[in-house]
């Protein structure tokens, strides 16, 4: 068993409501954007202060996190105490190619995450809308010997391409892994915090399809040709550097009797669940799935009224101000 190892947390965050940032994005959107409508919808960048509540969830349920890095484009949340010893703001300039800036693509940013100065070998990566809802330990993401746990969920490959840019990328990463390593991993990321080894992340980007990764890091907006960080997760599973855990409705219920009981009573318990902003009753979904982690997912279907309802839900779920706030 390894000695206790540090686990860092990386967020990607942007304040898409900032007029200066929006003006900069709009200048480039009309000129060199080759992305899909899914990749340039306002929901990609809308800030509903989810990061505030995610950090509250970290302090409540994941205090074992060693250090928190927030990757952003010259911004900082007005409410954040950036002097907190556990917080580091990482500007895009520190990790992305200078000639590619400014960047508005999550795929491009993810391709350079491993370059964060000081990032630990073991780290988890999430968007600002991912949160913990129950007490956790590092064993949620890593075995005692440091092996990452890769969480994957059911995925419809047949419908992937016509379901948009993201699903198309996931299928393409699966196909590439099958060609590269002969492994069929036809599951998708569970859309929440994911565990990585920095060394494996770096190896994939710099040695496996390096030209494609480099092109991705220069795409200002998401494109159908982008590499996706799921390739790293699939790689770790394919070469035995990670263990895979399939996420489903009952994956956090032990024993056949308990699973049958859960099915009969329509009460689930899973590792993570995506609570879409357009849902009518967030609490009903939360209580039904009883997840360890949630994603408060914004999308093109969500309205401003939905965003206000979601903020109220998160305030009820995480009412206590964290030490990360001013």
Contact 241, 149 (CB under 8 A): no
Structure tokens at 9: 């947390």
Q: What's the rounded Cα separation, in Å, for the pair 196 and 124?
A: 6
pLDDT of residue 262: 57
| 274, HSE (Cβ side, Cα atoms, 13 Å) | 13
Q: What's the rounded Cα separation, in Å, for the pair 318 and 18?
A: 25
Q: Taking the C-alpha atoms of 110, 112, 115 and 117 in order, what is their torsion angle to the nearest 10 degrees?
A: -60
**Residue 296 confidence (pLDDT) above 60:** yes
The strand pairing partners of 122, in sequence order, are: 7, 197
For 7-251, CATH gives: 3.90.550
> Which residues are CB-contacts of 251 (< 8 A; sequence separation ≥ 6)?
245, 269, 270, 271
26-58: string of b/e by CB count within 10 Å (b at 16+)? eeeeeeebebbebbbeebbbbbbbbbbbbbbbb
Q: What's the rounded Cα separation, in Å, for the pair 91 and 168?
A: 29
**Residue 257 confidence (pLDDT) above 90:** no
**Residue 316 confidence (pLDDT) above 60:** yes
Domain boundaries, the chain: 7-251
Give tens-digit pLDDT for 19-65: 899 889 888 887 444 444 444 455 556 788 999 999 999 999 999 99
pTM of the model: 0.90
Contact 247, 271 (CB under 8 A): yes
Summary mean pLDDT of the chain: 89
Give tens-digit pLDDT for 159-180: 776 667 888 899 999 999 999 9
């Amino acid at each position: 068993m390894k000695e206790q190892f540090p686990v860092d947390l990386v967020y990607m965050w942007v304040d898409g409501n900032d007029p200066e940032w929006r003006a900069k994005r709009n200048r480039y959107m009309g000129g060199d954007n080759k992305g899909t409508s899914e990749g340039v919808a306002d929901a990609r960048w809308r800030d509903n202060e989810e990061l505030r509540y995610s950090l509250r969830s970290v302090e409540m349920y994941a205090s074992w996190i060693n250090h928190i890095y927030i990757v952003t484009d010259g911004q900082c949340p007005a409410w954040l105490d950036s002097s907190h010893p556990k917080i580091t703001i990482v500007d895009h300039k520190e990790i992305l190619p200078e000639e590619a800036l400014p960047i508005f693509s999550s795929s491009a940013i993810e391709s350079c995450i491993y370059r964060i100065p000081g990032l630990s070998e073991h780290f988890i990566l999430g968007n600002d809308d991912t949160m913990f809802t129950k007490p956790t330990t590092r064993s949620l993401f890593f075995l005692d010997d440091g092996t990452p746990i890769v969480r994957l969920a059911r995925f419809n490959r047949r419908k992937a391409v016509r379901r948009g840019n993201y699903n198309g990328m996931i299928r393409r990463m699966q196909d590439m892994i099958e060609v590269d390593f002969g492994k069929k991993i036809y599951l998708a990321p569970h859309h929440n915090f994911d565990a990585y080894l920095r060394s494996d992340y770096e190896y994939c980007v710099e040695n496996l399809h390096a030209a494609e990764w480099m092109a991705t890091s220069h795409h200002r907006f998401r494109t159908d040709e982008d590499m996706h960080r799921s390739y790293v997760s699939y790689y770790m599973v394919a070469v035995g550097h990670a263990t895979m855990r399939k996420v489903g409705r009952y994956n956090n219920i032990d024993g056949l009797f308990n699973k049958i009981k859960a099915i009969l009573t329509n009460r689930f318990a899973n590792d993570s669940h995506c609570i879409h902003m357009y849902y009518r009753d967030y609490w009903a979904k939360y209580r039904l799935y009883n997840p360890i982690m949630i994603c408060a997912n914004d999308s093109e279907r969500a309205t401003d009224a939905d965003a206000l309802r979601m903020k109220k839900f998160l305030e009820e779920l995480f009412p206590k101000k964290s030490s990360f706030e001013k």
